[in-house]
Amino acid sequence: MIFVVILHIAICNITHMKSSNNQMKPQDVVILLKIIAIGSDHWQQKPLADSLKMSQSEISQSASRMQYAGLLLGKKVMRLAFFDFLKYGLSYVFPQKPGPVVRGIPTAHSAPPLSNKILSDEQYVWPFASGKVRGHSIAPLYSSVPDAALNDNALYELLALVDAVRVGRTREKELALKELEKRILHGK
C-alpha cells in the first residue's frame, strides 16, 4: 500500500515538473524574434545561442516550450500565432512599467523605427552601462537583450517594437503592431 502511494506521488511530481516546464518565458519571445530576424527556418542552436548570449540548453528548452505552445513547428515560426500572442497576450503575460531614469539603449518609441514616427520628450531605455541616452528604464525581456540588439539591427528594431506593445500608450501600441505585422507576417 505504501509503495502504491509513493509511486502515485512520484508520478504526480514528474507530471507536474513536465507541465511546469511548458510555461512560456520572456526569452522565448526574444528567441522567436531572433529567428524571424535571421529570416530562415534553417537556424542552428549554437549560433543562435551565441548571438543571443544564451546557453544552448536555454535555446533547446525554449524550443520545446514554443513547440508545446504552438508557436514553433520544427524550426518554423508559426508567424500568425506568434503575432496574435504579441497583439493580445504579451502585455498581460510580460507587463512592464517605466522605471527610474537611467543611462541605457533606447527602446519602445524612443528607438527606430518608431522614433521616426513619434516625437516625445520622454525616453525609454534598457539599462546599459555604456549607453548614451538617459531615459526611464524598461526591463528587457531577457538580460542579454541589450548586447544582442547592438549586434543585430533587425533584432533591435523587433525588440523595440515589442517593448512599445508592452509599455506604450494606445497610439504607440497601434503603430508598433502595424510595424510588427509587416515584419512578422509579411517579411518586410
**36-61 pLDDT, tens per residue?**
999 999 999 999 999 999 999 999 99
**78-116 pLDDT, tens per residue?**
999 999 999 999 999 999 999 999 999 999 999 999 999
Torsions phi, psi for 135 (to 5 deg) = -170, 180
Q: In Å, what is the CA distance from 101 to each residue of 104, 141, 144, 157?
A: 9, 18, 20, 22
Q: What is the pLDDT of residue 1?
A: 52
Q: What is the pLDDT of residue 99?
A: 96
What pTM did the predictor assign? 0.88
**Average pLDDT for residues 138-146, to the nearest whole number?**
97
Q: What is the pLDDT of residue 121?
A: 87
Picking from 124, 150, 183, 120, the residue whose alpha carbon sits closest to that of residue 52 is: 150
Give me the amino acid identity at 121: D
Q: What is the pLDDT of residue 4?
A: 43
